[in-house]
Structures are given as structure tokens and as C-alpha cells.
Structure 1
């Protein structure tokens, strides 16, 4: 059974990304459509959508396009390891790099949580002031 392929409009709907953003990610080699229709339309698979979602989740954490590309390469290589005798050694190096990205993501999430707390505190202060002046 072949995997279902979707056109860019459906992918945009599923991912919450704009058509323009998806096309941009293709231009910068983050996501390449799995195929093209006879009419030249981009066709995406579930794996392509997963890849787009990784990029979408990295963006608010401030990762650069190069870092996104590197992380995707790491995950691609980890998922395609074969019976190569050097695979275990390479896998360990790739996992170390992946863990470094995880640590950066964790730290950036903590920063965002602190910023959100400050923003919520500020909004609460404004609500109290409005109540006091009513």
C-alpha cells in the first residue's frame, strides 16, 4: 500500500503553516516534497508533515535555519542507521549532538516560561489598576 500524498494546501491546513512558509522551507532545503504530481504540484507525505512540525516547533525557540537543518540531518541519520559496523560509534556521536539540542531547547523553554510569568504578572497588575480606578 502506498502512502497517501497531500498537496500543499492540505499540508498547510494540517500544520498551521502558510503556503508561503512551506515554500520557503523548501527553498532553504529544510523540507523537500516527496513527489510532484503530473501537473507539477508539490506532494507531501506524513513524514514530510512530521518534518515540518519539527521545524515549526523549533522556530519559537529561536533556532536558526542552519541549526534546524543540522537537527533534521541528525534525526535523518539516526533513523537510517544500517548494519554498518561503524553505526554504533556514529550513532553515539549523533545522539550526543541531539542531546546538545535538547539541552538548548530545555534552557530556552525555561527562559520563555520566565518571560511568560513576567508578562502574566504585568497583565494582572494592569487588571488590578483598572479595578482600583473603577
Structure 2
């Protein structure tokens, strides 16, 4: 959106968004501690039922179909989320899943930083 409305601000907006995402683990705990009581934080949730492998695999597929029908502009972004979930849950592409979770994310982060830096 900022690329169309204010392309000169794209780099600064990307840096602000990425910085916020990186700082969430530091920002969130004190806020959660301030908004909940100690007894609420001590509550341990019990899993009601075990989720089957079939449900774990069907969830991203059904979700993506619904989103593609209702919000087609959001489909590519959610599609990548669903693809990652499907890769992890299917277990068929274990090596590829490990690569994506570890090595590839570092490379993508470097390229993101280079492209944002080029826009500044």
C-alpha cells in the first residue's frame, strides 16, 4: 500500500514494522503482566481432545480455500502461512521443512534488509 501511496516512505515503514516485530518479545511480557492478575497467570489450560493428523493437514487447505473465496487479495499472504503449516504437519518433506525453518529464513531476512536498505 505504501509503495503506491507514498513510495518515498516505503523503506522507513518497513524498518518500523520489522523493528516492532523484533521487539514484540520485549514489549509483550510487561503489558501482559500489567493486565492480568497473578492467579490468572497461574491457570494451566488442559487440552480438551487430541487433534488428529487429518485435521492438522486439512486445516490449512480449507482455510486457504475460504480466504481465497472471501478475501482474494489476502490469499497470497495467507497461502504462504498455510503452505508452511502444511509442510510441517504433513511430515513428508521433513528436510525441506527443516531448511525453511532454519537456513532459508536467515537468507530471506538478509535479502529483506538489503531491499529495504536500498529503498532508504
TM-score range with shorter-chain normalisation? under 0.3
Would you tell me which structure has more strand in proportion to its own residues? 1
TM-score, with structure 2 as normaliser: 0.24
* Bigger radius of gyration among the two: 1
Would you tell me which structure has more helix in proportion to its own residues? 2
TM-score, with structure 1 as normaliser: 0.22
By relative contact order (CA 8 Å, sep 6+), the higher-ranking structure is: 2
